[in-house]
């Protein structure tokens, strides 16, 4: 059974490693802050002191980091993942980054004799715990098929979408919907509230209507009470919206609702709500409508 390496043990990365360990995989890992990884070490993950050491010890190396800059930090340099790659190894990046950056990294991985896939995920830490995470995979199809058993230990759906960078593109196309849906939901909710319908009643109707997507059913209740754990904050959501707008300009695809939703994310940050889950867009809109946050 392939040894799996994992770099980036934040909320999502930790959940993924937990599922790999539960499936009986041997996992070696690294995180910038070791204390955050200690529960995984206690559960059986083997610690390594650098990303390079993880790559050297593993057959399949995975990363889940915040953005393109963080990806560069863990892959480049003498202690980076690239330095530890070699023939026969597969590197899978599960982060949400620009397709161009992903393609460039794939070329550098190939120079080391290894193979790379960009395989972002759809879901949250809750989805990971429930075993419902899905992957959208870009790169070589045969490589995707070779590592699919590893990915299926994490979640039940692996969809091959095309060559290098296409997984990243598909993730951006998916994520732009999150903020757009949240903004539309907030507009309907606040229209009803300002017309005299209690917010809780309006939310109940909307979340049990035809417009209630899985994302809204999960995140909709956050308009009534902030979640105990912030899974996807305003800044992270806006990072993905900006990636989408960049790709829209590159591919000549107009993204009008994405642009408007992005502006409301800016407004949400300007009101000091950037640390909250992006459902806080409703609070920014409520303030503009003269309603309680």
**d(Cα 178, Cα 210) in Å, to the nearest integer?**
17
Q: Supply the DSSP symbol for 153.
A: T
Contacts of residue 165, defined as CB under 8 A and 6 or more positions apart, other chains included, come to 99, 100, 102, 103, 106, 118, 138
Among residues 36, 89, 103, 171, the one annotated as catalytic is 171
**Active-site residue, 89 included:** no
Cβ proximity of 43 and 27 under 8 Å: no
Rounded to the nearest 10 degrees, the angle between the axes of helix 166-194 and helix 281-288 is 40
User: What three-state secondary structure class fits 121?
Assistant: strand
Query: Both tokens of residue 268?
Result: 């949400």
Contacts of residue 201, defined as CB under 8 A and 6 or more positions apart, other chains included, come to none
Query: Both tokens of residue 52?
Result: 């390079």
**d(Cα 159, Cα 170) in Å, to the nearest integer?**
10
Place of tokens 């610690």: 47
User: What three-state secondary structure class fits 80?
Assistant: coil
User: What three-state secondary structure class fits 148?
Assistant: helix
**d(Cα 243, Cα 274) in Å, to the nearest integer?**
18
- Annotated catalytic residues are 171
């Amino acid at each position: 059974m392939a040894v799996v390496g994992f770099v980036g043990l934040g909320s999502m990365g930790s959940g993924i490693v937990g599922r790999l360990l539960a499936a009986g995989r041997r996992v070696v890992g690294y995180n910038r802050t070791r204390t955050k990884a200690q529960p995984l070490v206690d559960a059986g993950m083997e610690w390594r002191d650098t990303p390079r050491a993880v790559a050297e010890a593993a057959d399949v190396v995975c990363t889940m980091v915040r953005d393109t800059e963080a990806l560069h930090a863990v892959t480049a340099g003498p202690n980076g993942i690239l330095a530890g790659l070699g023939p026969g190894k597969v590197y899978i990046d599960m982060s949400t980054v620009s397709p161009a950056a992903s393609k460039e990294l794939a070329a550098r991985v190939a120079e080391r004799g290894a193979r790379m896939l960009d395989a972002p995920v759809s879901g949250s830490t809750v989805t990971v715990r429930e075993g419902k995470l899905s992957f959208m995979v870009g790169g070589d199809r045969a490589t995707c098929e070779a590592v699919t058993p590893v990915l299926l230990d994490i979640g039940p759906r692996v969809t091959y979408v095309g060559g290098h960078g296409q997984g990243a593109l598909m993730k951006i196309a998916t994520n732009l919907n999150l903020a757009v849906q949240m903004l539309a939901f907030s507009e309907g909710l606040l229209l009803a509230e300002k017309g005299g319908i209690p917010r809780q009643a309006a939310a109940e109707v909307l979340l049990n209507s035809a417009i209630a997507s899985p994302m809204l059913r999960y995140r909709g209740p956050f308009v009534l009470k902030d979640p105990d754990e912030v899974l996807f904050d305003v800044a992270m959501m806006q990072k993905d919206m900006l990636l989408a707008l960049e790709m829209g300009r590159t591919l000549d695809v107009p993204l009008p609702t994405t642009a408007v939703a992005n502006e409301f994310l800016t407004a949400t940050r300007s009101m000091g709500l950037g640390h909250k889950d992006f459902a806080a867009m409703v609070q920014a809109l409520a303030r503009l409508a003269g309603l309680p946050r």
